[in-house]
Structure 1
């Protein structure tokens, strides 16, 4: 792993309060072609409720068959299907008989209501039962709303978060325009996985393939970032929707697993009270902890954040780092997408449009733009148009954008 930090400003005026933004970057190692890939554990939880009948369920079956073909015989695979009841279609275990597993997948047919919580809980049980040293991934595929069993978003997110403490990552794929995007995004957030929106069967297959491709190239697991601000720092802002926990002297941010070569970015803000002495001043220590795969060895990387306290006239001439400023604006744009998606889910189209307009104006007013920010401006314009004639599509797209660009910033 490589760890780098950048500040938007490294000069602060003496006897003046200030705020500093830090960009923290870390890159996972590439796969070692000489090392055998560790066995993977993939547990699929498939919605087979009545709304999945036809093309959606057929596309899901084909995607799972392709997944089985891609896995090695020593990898562990399981399939739980749910409607208002739960069936363990394929007990989780090594793929010693792929033909039988694929026949079992083809046998899944649509049924009744959507007891998502029962399916998720059973899938998590199966994943924990067979998880290897590198943990397990649960892939929840659904096209509907939870209308039986536990339906509370926070509860279901908490279930996924609890499983993650035992090495189980939960990712979600929503199919079509009728599923509850806030629910699936919340479950993925709690489970430290990704969330994808698949408008049709082909997109669902691609989403399954992409998630598994990442799983099979995992080189880091259980990564966390600890930020220990100096006692004089008033507050720390994490510009990412990631699980955070207070610890002695700081904050711990859970980063989850990283795929080979993944270059992740994290933006934090630190409020620095007035300094009374000139010279170099430390404002925070940063510690990255992770477990390397496949050797399963623990590693720790550390660095420190410093500012130079200078006279006010010298600080007045400072030039902020445009790379850090642009990354902060990028994350503020992702936050705007999340807030706009929430507004659409509540039926507030005008509120969603206003949020997107404000974010677009901030991008237009940026002193220096990048290709990424130009792309974001175009995305906001497209989403703004969609809110008028396809609010469901816009909301789901925004949740997927937020999951990929905020929670997993840097993951391809």
Structure 2
């Protein structure tokens, strides 16, 4: 939990501070957020948690058994102050446990509910999430300052009810505005990482990849611990730009474009873990010496919702210059490396999405273009070679359908690099480069 010493540090810098006076220069701004303070687990807010568990037919066998073990482990990890909701969903959603406090009687009721998790029909993820969200929202009245969360466990595709990623993300974003975070665990190789990723990013949470059934409990308990360790939740960063400067977010951050500004949902901030948000700036033409000011500020809340934590505002100046001066300027290598990491993560994400949609020719053309631009940007930048090599390896098989496991690992790498997301699986992954080499046709 945060205390009165919790602070939010914000920095803002540019990869290059000059842009060509004739226009069409592309520059990058890097904002970095870091929360500091004492984590007091004994003073952590209560948890109001709903588990929405996929019990469709594809969960039969080891996966449904692992889901039961996971739910049992969650019950054991919760305290009498905490509340647990359990929803099972297939073609419909069933409420098995309704926001019970995890005292002795509540634990007994929860264990009985876990035994009722059995595989059966289709995958109406929408109805499962909605029922879980409604019960968490209702339980908020009992303890408004609890940490309110919905966690989806699913191994399949959303094939009934609302199935469009953008629409689902709109609803999880609306729930976040009420103070409820949505996260998800994708199980095995059959889940839709693009759809679940859109839901959790708009919902202020994370998508965890559990390749094997045995890893489900690891990532769920890691998510629970991460929620208890957060110093600041529901963090939003605002990036302001002048009217003649066009800006866009690099990477998969959920964001809203407003007149003269972009608001980025940064989510949770953990101790000792910074988050960097990169913006691509398309510069106008103008008189040499003209200054273009960009600014940023940030705001979050304590996990119990009782305190607002602010940082900024800060400004950075981008100045228009003549050709020789513009070409001769140095670049900030730390900011340039942050740009490259965010850019590569964005390329991974778009490639996975296009490949899933069946646009093989489009993804190849996209990656060819991105590799050319990134190679030019990375020239002379120490540490860029491994990132470039991974993109080139992906390009070599871009016109083929991605192996489902490789698709998951690319998406997970994109999230980890873009969002500085910790890994909760205990089994280490093979390097992405080795995985890409193994998957060459």
TM-score, normalised on structure 2?
0.83
Report the CA distance between 1:265 and its aligned residue. Answer: 0.4
| Distance of 2:69 and 2:358 partners within structure 1 | 35
Contact 2:344 2:391 in 1 (8 A): no
Distance 1:270 1:78 in 2: 45
Of 89-98 and 129-138, more deviation after overlay is shown by 129-138
> Is 1:165 aligned to residue 177 of structure 2?
yes
Return the TM-score normalized by structure 1. 0.88
SS at match of 2:198: helix
- The gaps in structure 2 that reach 5 residues or longer are 1-7, 424-441
Aligned equivalent of 2:408: 396
In structure 1, C-alpha distance between the alignment counterparts of 2:284 and 2:362, rounded to whole Å: 36
Distance (whole Å) between structure 2 residues aligned to residue 372 and residue 77 of structure 1? 45
1:128 counterpart residue number: 137
- Cα displacement (A) at 1:347: 3.3
The partner residue of 1:296 within 306, 322, 344 is: 306
User: 2:393 matched to which residue of 1?
Assistant: 381
Which residue pairs with 2:432 in the alignment?
none
Structure 2 Cα separation of the partners of residues 364 and 392 of structure 1: 28
Q: Is the 8 A contact 1:11 1:315 kept in 2?
A: yes
2:18 to 4, 11, 24: 11
Q: Is the 8 A contact 1:197 1:396 kept in 2?
A: yes
Task: State the partner residue of 1:268.
Answer: 279
Matches within 5 A, 1:8-407: 8-12=15-19, 18-33=25-40, 36-97=43-104, 98-131=107-140, 132-231=144-243, 233-247=244-258, 249-276=260-287, 278=289, 281-294=291-304, 296-301=306-311, 302-308=313-319, 312-349=323-360, 352=363, 355=366, 366-369=378-381, 371=383, 374=386, 377-378=389-390, 381=393, 391-406=403-418
What RMSD over aligned residues (CA atoms) do the two structures have, in Å?
2.9
CA distance in 1 between counterparts of 2:305 and 2:353 reads: 42
CA, structure 1 residues 333+55, in 2 after alignment: closer, same or farther (shift >3 Å)? same
2: CA distance, partners of 1:390 / 1:87: 35
Compared CA separation, residues 58 and 370, structure 1 to 2 (3 A): farther
How many residues are aligned here? Answer: 409
CA distance, structure 2, for counterparts of residue 393 and residue 61 of structure 1: 24
Contact 1:356–1:384 (8 Å) recurs in 2: no
C-alpha change, 1:295 and 1:172, in structure 2 (3 Å) is closer
CA contact (8 A) 2:16 2:28 kept: yes
1:113, distance to aligned residue in structure 2 (A)? 1.8
By how many angstroms is 1:371 displaced?
A: 4.9
- Closer, same or farther in 2 for the Cα pair 1:60/1:304, shift >3 Å? same
Report how far residue 300 of structure 1 moved. 2.5
Distance 1:201 1:238, change over 3 A: same
Q: Give unmatched runs, 5+ long, in structure 1.
A: none
Contact kept, 8 Å, 2:15 with 2:29, in 1: the verdict is: yes
The 2-side partners of 1:386 and 1:199 are apart by 23
Q: Cα distance, 1:337 vs. partner?
A: 1.2
1:54 deviates by 0.6
- Answer with 94-103 or 211-220: which moved more: 94-103
Contact 1:229 1:284 in 2 (8 A): yes
Deviation at residue 86 of structure 1 after TM alignment: 1.7
Which stretch shifts more, 325-334 or 49-58? 325-334
CA drift at 1:220: 0.7
> Structure 1 residues 15 and 120 mapped into 2: Cα distance closer, same or farther (>3 Å)?
closer
Cα distance in 2 between the residues matched to 1:13 and 1:101? 64
Rounded Cα–Cα distance in structure 1 between residues aligned with 2:131 and 2:280: 40
State how far apart, in whole Å, the 2-side matches of 1:217 and 1:68 are.
18
Whole-angstrom CA distance in 2 between matches of 1:316 and 1:383: 31
The worse-fitting range, judged by mean Cα deviation, of 269-278 and 150-159 is 269-278
My pick for the range that moved more, 367-376 or 258-267, is 367-376
